[in-house]
Amino acid sequence: MPLFHEAVGGAAGSQPAVVFLNGIMMTTASWVFQTRALSPHFRCVLHDFRGQLRSPMPGPFDMQQHVDDLVALLDALELERPHVVGTSYGGEVGMMFAIQHPERVRSLAAIACVSHVEPPLHNAVVRWRDAARDAPETLFDISAPYNFSPGVLTPSFMEQGRERLRGYGPEFARNLADLCDAFLQLDITERLWSIECPTLVIAGAKDILKPPRYSRLIAERIPNATLQIIPDAPHALALENHAEVNAALVEFLRRPDR
């Protein structure tokens, strides 16, 4: 089954392309704020990783498969050297892609990412994985406090989140568990030096899942990286703090040297 993908903005070849890579619980629809801001300037290409909502391939998975899938997708779309923007799991796949295929990346933006997994993060992801496998009806309640600011977690917000995950169906939860296992193998810190493209690293100051110290390490290890920490932002800053994230992306991607 081919990967689901869609393009927003200019026709093929008419504008520079930006490829968006999802977080682990995201779908292409989760980038609505970013595509709204960037599509006047760029051709925005989105896809669900294998195992996500619109690319429901059976697991198990590993993150290398996502890198290989991205190469195949870019080849099919005849995109030689796009900008790559990823958040969380997607940003980590983006870093792997930039390490392995430097000639295919114009620039990289890594939002709320890590380059390896330490015990607190490991334990949180194991909770998500086990909930997805054994009690998927609890998944949103378990994951939301790690992703969003406390003030957002109103009863209506929580019920909307539960309803959305129920609508995705049981296969989404089973695949999410396999994606969690794939993430837990991530260990690329010692390879970050080989990322050659201009890189923007964005972190939320109040991200409790992947705290900004991970992003500081990434920015220190990538030779041509800039770090931006957004005050009061949680892990899901591409949604909750989209105005600040979009402003940073537009400024970064529209620099004359890009």
Model pLDDT, residue 12 = 60
The architecture (CATH level 2) of 5-116+186-253 comes to 3-Layer(aba) Sandwich (3.40)
Is the distance from CB of 54 to CB of 2 less than 8 angstroms? no
Q: Where are the alpha helices (DSSP H) in the chain?
A: 32-38, 63-77, 89-100, 119-134, 139-147, 155-168, 170-183, 212-221, 237-240, 242-253
In whole angstroms, what is the distance from residue 15 CA to residue 211 CA?
35
Q: Does pLDDT of 258 surpass 80?
A: no
Compute CA 205 distance to the chain's CA centroid, rounded to the nearest angstrom.
Answer: 17
Query: 143-199 pLDDT, tens per residue?
Result: 999 999 999 999 999 999 999 999 998 999 999 999 999 999 999 999 999 999 999
Sign of the torsion angle spanned by Cα atoms 73, 74, 78, 84 = positive
Q: Which residue has the tokens 């999802």?
A: 22
DSSP code, position 135: -
Is the distance from CB of 202 to CB of 233 less than 8 angstroms? no
In whole angstroms, what is the distance from residue 93 CA to residue 109 CA?
11
Provide the token pair at 176: 């999410």
In whole angstroms, what is the distance from residue 22 CA to residue 85 CA?
9
* Nearest residue to 44 via CA among 70, 80, 20, 72: 20
In whole angstroms, what is the distance from residue 199 CA to residue 178 CA?
29
Q: What are the b/e assignments for 148-163, b being 16+ CB within 10 Å?
A: bbeeeeeeeebeebbe
Q: What average pLDDT does range 198-222 have in this prediction?
A: 98
Q: How confident is the model at residue 11 (pLDDT cuts 50, 70, 90)?
A: low
- Taking all residues of the chain, what is their mean pLDDT, rounded to a whole number? 94
pTM of the complete model = 0.96
Is the distance from CB of 20 to CB of 93 less than 8 angstroms? no
Q: Which residue has the tokens 């799991």?
A: 89
Domain map (residue ranges) of the chain: 5-116+186-253
Query: 87-133 pLDDT, tens per residue?
Result: 999 999 999 999 999 999 999 999 999 999 999 999 999 999 999 99
